[in-house]
């Protein structure tokens, strides 16, 4: 099956109640690795990710993939900042996407058990997902997204409000997924995390792409005063 990338945005915009939240954005994502979207609070990071994924309505411009959208939807996944969990066991939560795709309950649960072990939830397959801690819920959400082996995985602030240990564990899972071939597109406010994970950086400001560059080049020598100020921790208005 052919790849779904590149992902191209041309004049893409998102609006709510007549107010433009993001755009116009011109951006092409194609190279392997991880694109990390950074920028001040309110810059539009979450909206941009949702726009690319298709959960935010496109108000203007175009967004296109290398394959028809009906095919692309089966090759992408999204992990939200606050994971949504079903009122089911850990195992049934992780198996759910496979059941939707027609796999038998037995096979889906067997694969889900394998993924539970990969993300550190192997000791609690029958626990109700609703009683999990924040870090455990995020691991569950990652396993549920990765079990379908998506070509592209979107993540909105995947470790927000988590402790250092949980952050490290989730970053390990993401690194392994990237090495296995899943293209990561994520937002984060954690510049340490951005440096650890990114191969490419998109710096968003006032809803528009202000700068994009390879990660090493961006962090060593940002190309605009605004990006340099942001990396110093200055307030950008």
pLDDT at site 149: 93
149 and 126 inside one domain: no
Q: Is residue 1 part of a domain?
A: no
34 and 73 inside one domain: yes
Q: Of 98, 131, 164, which one is at a domain's C-terminal end?
A: 131
**CA-based nearest residue to 219, from 189, 236, 196, 185:** 196
180 and 102 inside one domain: no
Q: Predicted confidence band at 45 (pLDDT cuts at 50, 70, 90)? A: very high
Count of domains observed in the chain: 2
pLDDT at site 2: 56
Q: Phi then psi for 29, rounded to 5 degrees?
A: -115, 120
Tokens standing for 152? 């592209």
Q: Is residue 44 part of a domain?
A: yes
pLDDT in tens, 127-178: 999 999 988 998 999 999 999 999 999 999 998 878 888 889 889 999 999 9
pLDDT in tens, 84-133: 899 999 999 999 999 999 999 999 999 999 999 988 899 999 999 999 99
Average pLDDT taken over every residue of the chain:
93
pLDDT in tens, 181-237: 999 999 999 999 999 999 999 999 999 999 999 999 999 999 999 999 999 999 887
202 and 141 inside one domain: yes
Q: Of 73, 100, 131, which one is at a domain's C-terminal end?
A: 131
**CA-based nearest residue to 144, from 193, 88, 69, 70:** 88
pLDDT at site 187: 97
18 and 102 inside one domain: no
204 and 110 inside one domain: no
Average pLDDT rounded to a whole number, residues 53-69: 95
| CATH code, domain carrying 155 | 3.40.50.300
Chain-centre distance for alpha carbon 80: 8
Q: Predicted confidence band at 58 (pLDDT cuts at 50, 70, 90)? A: very high
pLDDT at site 1: 43
Question: For the chain, how many helices (H) and strands (E)?
Answer: 9, 9
**What range defines the domain where residue 107 resides?**
87-131
């Amino acid at each position: 099956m052919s790849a779904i990338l590149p992902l191209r945005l041309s004049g893409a915009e998102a609006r709510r109640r007549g107010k433009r939240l993001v755009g116009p954005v011109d951006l092409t994502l194609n190279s392997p690795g991880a694109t990390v979207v950074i920028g001040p609070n309110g810059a539009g990071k979450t909206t941009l990710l949702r726009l690319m994924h298709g959960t935010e309505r496109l108000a203007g411009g175009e967004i296109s993939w290398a394959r028809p959208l009906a095919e692309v939807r089966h090759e992408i996944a999204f992990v939200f900042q606050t994971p949504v969990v079903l009122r089911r066991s850990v195992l049934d939560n992780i198996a759910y996407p496979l059941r939707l795709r027609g796999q038998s309950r037995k096979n889906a649960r067997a694969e889900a058990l394998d993924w539970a072990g990969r993300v550190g939830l192997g000791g609690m397959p029958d626990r109700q997902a609703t009683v999990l801690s924040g870090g455990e819920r995020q691991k569950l959400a990652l396993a549920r997204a990765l079990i379908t082996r998506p070509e592209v995985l979107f993540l909105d602030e995947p470790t927000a409000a988590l402790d250092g240990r949980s952050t490290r564990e989730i970053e390990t899972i993401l690194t392994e997924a990237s090495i296995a071939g899943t293209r990561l597109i994520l937002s984060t406010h954690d510049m340490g995390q951005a440096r650890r994970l990114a191969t490419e950086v998109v710096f968003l400001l006032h809803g528009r792409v202000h700068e994009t560059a390879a990660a090493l080049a961006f962090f060593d020598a940002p190309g605009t005063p605004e990006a340099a100020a942001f990396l110093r921790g200055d307030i950008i208005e």
